[in-house]
Amino acid sequence: MATFMEVLDTSIANVALPHIAGNLSATVDESTWVLTSYLVANAIILPISGWLSTRIGRKRFYMICVALFGVSSLLCGMAPTLGTLVFCRILQGLGGGGLAPSEQAILADTFEPKKRGVAFAVYGMAVVLAPAIGPTLGGYITDHFSWRWVFFINIPVAILSLFLTHRLVEDPPWLRGNLKKVRVDYIGLGLITLGLGSLQVVLDKGDREDWLNSHFILGFTVVAVAALIGAVFWEYYEEHPIIDLKLFQTRTFSISAIMMFTLGFTLFGSTVLIPQLLQTMMGYTAQQAGMALSPGGLLLLCIMPLIGTLIQKVDARYMIAFGFTILALSLWHMTGITLEMDFGFAVRLRMFQSLGLAFLFVPINTMSYVGVPREKNNQISGMMNLARNMGGSVGISLVQTLLSRRAQVHQVNMAAHTGASDPAFLEGLSGLIRRFTQSGVAHDAATQMAYGRLYGGMLRQSQLLAYVDTIWLFMVAVICVIPLAFLMKKAAPGGAPRGAH
């Protein structure tokens, strides 16, 4: 429940931004800090959530996160100014960022390895369904009620989650026995917070600010690189690190992190790409564009339980390779998009993609625990969620940048072939002039209208080609990780390593 609430909130507020800006007397660019502030806080808390769980107790930390998320949601809905809303979103991001890692660690400790796949499948239904219905639900709430209800709907879910967690969840004995005072790694904590926070600002604001041509982005980039490099060296040699970087010495875990990054990169990037194409190029409303994603989410909802059962009998590596292959094929199929495609075609594109995604989330998460001591479960959960979220941030940022840059490239190439020396251009121009003059328009006005029509068509075609280029890039990235599945340590069906108990 809490996972669904938190993941939903990362996408549901997107469609409400124009309404938030208008209601709080802010520009649309200023209102984007509502998203950026949440993502920055989320990125900061994700990698340190495992350390906090071990230090204060996982159940206690989890309930604090749920409570903070619920209270901050109430404050977001009541915010009188944009500054207040951004501050409350930071609190909401801190609460939300600690939820997913704690939940996955709870599942990993509650269920034995052979049943872990089913548990992750049920959990995964919330993770993959929420982004699919977020834009649709956000559009409906904003259009029929108020943007404030985008935040208010979290409150009853948070209350019920707190009640059920208090009654049903317990920390495992080994974790309760290890709760002890350890020296706080303040330097590591500061470097990680500064590095990941700055990196998230760069990824979220980079395209709007023209990347390194902006002193604002350049400054944050320098800070992010310096802080993250410092954090890597410091944490590796620290006796009580915030993040245990030695986990990456385990080959299967390192590959799992790369794959989860790629999964987030593709999932969140395409979740932005498809609705944006439908809205900007084909005139769909936000709600209609969201509806094109929803059937794919429903397909995932149906398939995920089957994946949880299948992983108990089939080598997870084969399932991962199959999932990425289907995902690559779906992206290749998506390169055939045209401006004449209907709503049903758009729905089928997402459903084909969802079929591949269904074979990835559960097996990758299951394999990430193979060969790693159970005492590291909190750390694993935090790092895997960070990989997925950072992949999503990179994917979304890359989509926006490629669409603008590649559209310019295609526009220049097309313009080179639209002149007095090009027979096809002259034929099209004269045909349009003739059509306009036959409808009663003066020749000079008809000529201007014909040039305007051709220029508008060129802009639309160059933008469409930019979407196709972006999809090709996603496909290449997915293809590159397929062979990595067979470099992972072979595990028994169910996710347990060979010889493990």
What pLDDT sits at residue 220?
A: 92
* Torsion angle of C-alpha atoms 488, 494, 498, 501, degrees rounded to 10: 140
Return all residues near 345 (Cβ < 8 A) that are at least 6 apart: none
Phi, psi of 497 (to 5 degrees): -70, 155
For range 443-468, the mean pLDDT:
83
**Every domain of the chain and the residues it spans:** 1-182, 183-239, 409-461
Where do the DSSP E strands lie in 167-207? none
Given a cut of 80, is residue 8 above it in pLDDT?
A: no
Given a cut of 60, is residue 441 above it in pLDDT?
A: yes
Please provide the size of the chain in residues. 501
> What confidence tier does 501 reach under pLDDT thresholds 50, 70, 90?
very low
Helices (H) and strands (E) in the chain, counts: 21, 0
- Tens-digit pLDDT profile for residues 331-344: 999 998 888 888 88
Closest CA to 38 of 61, 1, 67, 8: 8
Q: Which residue has the tokens 């909190």?
A: 378
DSSP 3-state assignment of 491? Answer: strand
**Residue 271 and residue 32: Cα distance in Å, rounded?**
18
Query: Is residue 449 within 8 Å of residue 455, measured between CB atoms?
Result: no
Return all residues near 134 (Cβ < 8 A) that are at least 6 apart: 7, 8, 9, 10, 11, 12, 14, 290
Closest CA to 474 of 332, 290, 337: 332
> Which residue would you say has higher pLDDT here, 319 or 55?
319
Where does residue 413 rank: exposed (0-12), middle (13-18), buried (19+ CB within 10 A)?
exposed
**Residue 260 and residue 232: Cα distance in Å, rounded?**
20
Pick from 21-25, 127-131, 196-200, 303-307: least confident:
127-131
Given a cut of 60, is residue 452 above it in pLDDT?
A: yes
> Which residue would you say has higher pLDDT here, 248 or 425?
248
Where do the DSSP E strands lie in 92-206? none
What pLDDT sits at residue 243?
A: 84
Given a cut of 90, is residue 320 above it in pLDDT?
A: yes
What proportion of the chain, given as a percentage, has pLDDT over 90?
22
What pLDDT sits at residue 371?
A: 82
Return all residues near 245 (Cβ < 8 A) that are at least 6 apart: 232, 235, 236
What pLDDT sits at residue 174?
A: 65
Given a cut of 60, is residue 10 above it in pLDDT?
A: yes
> What confidence tier does 14 reach under pLDDT thresholds 50, 70, 90?
low
What pLDDT sits at residue 218?
A: 92
CB atoms within 10 A of CB 245: 18
Residue 120 CA: distances (Å) to CA of 164, 168, 200, 495: 19, 18, 27, 11
Query: Is residue 88 within 8 Å of residue 72, measured between CB atoms?
Result: yes
- Tens-digit pLDDT profile for residues 362-383: 899 889 888 888 778 778 888 8
CATH T-level assignment (fold) for domain 1-182? Growth Hormone; Chain: A; (1.20.1250)
For range 479-491, the mean pLDDT:
90
What pLDDT sits at residue 177?
A: 58
Helices (H), 359-442: 361-368, 377-415, 423-438
- Tens-digit pLDDT profile for residues 30-45: 777 787 788 778 878 8
For range 218-242, the mean pLDDT:
90
Where does residue 444 rank: exposed (0-12), middle (13-18), buried (19+ CB within 10 A)?
exposed
What proportion of the chain, given as a percentage, has pLDDT over 70?
92
**Residue 239 and residue 246: Cα distance in Å, rounded?**
12
> What confidence tier does 224 reach under pLDDT thresholds 50, 70, 90?
very high
102 sits in which H/E element: helix 99-110
Q: Is 315 left (phi over 0), alpha (psi -120 to 50) or beta?
A: beta
Q: Six-digit token pair at 343? A: 């709503």
- Tens-digit pLDDT profile for residues 378-418: 788 888 888 888 888 888 888 888 888 898 898 888 877 77
Phi, psi of 417 (to 5 degrees): -110, 15
Given a cut of 60, is residue 181 above it in pLDDT?
A: no
DSSP 3-state assignment of 241? Answer: coil
- Highest-confidence range of 7-11, 165-169, 421-425, 439-443, by mean pLDDT? 165-169
For range 183-198, the mean pLDDT:
85
For range 13-28, the mean pLDDT:
75
Where does residue 333 rank: exposed (0-12), middle (13-18), buried (19+ CB within 10 A)?
middle
Q: Six-digit token pair at 454? A: 């051709």
For range 124-135, the mean pLDDT:
72
